[in-house]
């Protein structure tokens, strides 16, 4: 199915199915939040502040980096700019969602956009390829991940270093493994693989030049998509 099909629905059933689909991600999100909570406690953030940041920002990498550069009193503008630079990949992800969400009332499309994270976005794009119409799956999947993230943050901040290193259980690999699971349904076929090759090459080079932020995702995604756009179908 082409991704420019105009039809879209938005139902409670979609919320439920999205939540069910992303249960393993909610689990990953909890452990990610645990890691952030420990870090936030070490940095000196209170329980309310750590959980408040997770609830409002809801973007792991940018929160981890903020803890890395945090000072008391904090540099408000610098932290906001750093968060923007790290989350800049969301801009391109949101662009890819437009053909799907365009037909929805603003409140609904924006509920889906605000619950968008890397993992549930990738999942949504993958099921969309298989014919999914219900954009509310983004809300359901985002919601369970949000719950995991915020509760994990709370436990991590409160329990601190009592917790063993989650890396022992391979939890740090859950996100790369999850992304890999979306690859088969996004697979364009061997004859149309050049956008992927170009995207990977551009991403690696840009990541080496600009390791801070996610400019490599923006650059690789846009250049790869442009190469795909230029080629014949």
* Contacts to another protein from residues 59-78, by CB under 8 A: 59, 62-63, 66, 72-77
Question: Which residue, chain included where needed, has tokens 């801009």?
Answer: 91
134, two tokens = 């219900």
Does the footprint of another protein cover residue 89 (CB under 8 A)?
yes
Kindly indicate which of the ranges 11-19, 111-119, 148-156 contains the residues binding another protein, using the contact rule CB under 8 A.
111-119
| Residues binding another protein: number (CB under 8 A) | 98
Which lies closer to another protein via its Cβ, residue 16 or residue 98? 98
Sketch the per residue contact string, 142 through 181, with another protein: x for CB under 8 A, - otherwise. -------------------------xxxxxxxx-xxxxxx
* C-alpha 25 chain-centroid distance: 11
Which residues within the stretch 114-133 sit at the binding site for another protein (CB under 8 A)?
Answer: 114, 116, 118, 122, 125-126, 129
Among 26, 93, 145, 150, binds another protein (CB under 8 A): 93
47 binds another protein per the rule CB under 8 A: no
Task: State how far Cα 104 lies from the chain centre.
Answer: 22
Q: Minimal distance in Å, beta carbon 210 to another protein?
A: 11
Q: Is 231 in the site for another protein (CB under 8 A)?
A: yes
Nearer to another protein, 137 or 217 (CB): 217
């Amino acid at each position: 199915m082409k991704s420019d099909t105009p039809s879209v629905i938005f139902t409670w059933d979609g919320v439920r199915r999205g939540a069910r689909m992303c249960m393993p991600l909610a689990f990953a999100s909890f452990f990610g939040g645990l890691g952030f909570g420990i870090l936030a406690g070490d940095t000196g953030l209170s329980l309310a502040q750590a959980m408040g940041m997770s609830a409002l920002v809801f973007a792991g990498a940018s929160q981890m980096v903020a803890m890395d550069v945090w000072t008391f009193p904090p540099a408000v503008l610098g932290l906001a700019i750093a968060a923007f630079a790290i989350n800049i990949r969301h801009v391109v992800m949101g662009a890819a969602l437009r053909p799907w969400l365009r037909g929805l009332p603003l409140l609904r499309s924006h509920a889906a956009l605000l619950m968008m994270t890397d993992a549930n976005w990738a999942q949504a794009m993958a099921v969309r390829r298989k014919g999914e119409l219900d954009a509310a799956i983004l809300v359901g999947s985002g919601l369970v991940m949000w719950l995991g993230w915020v509760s994990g943050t709370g436990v991590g901040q409160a329990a601190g270093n009592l917790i063993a290193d989650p890396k022992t259980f391979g939890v740090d690999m859950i996100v790369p493994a999850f992304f890999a699971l979306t690859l088969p349904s996004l697979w364009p076929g061997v004859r149309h693989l050049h956008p992927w090759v170009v995207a990977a090459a551009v991403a690696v080079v840009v990541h080496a030049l600009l390791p801070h932020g996610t400019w490599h995702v923006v650059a690789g995604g846009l250049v790869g998509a442009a190469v795909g756009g230029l080629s014949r179908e």
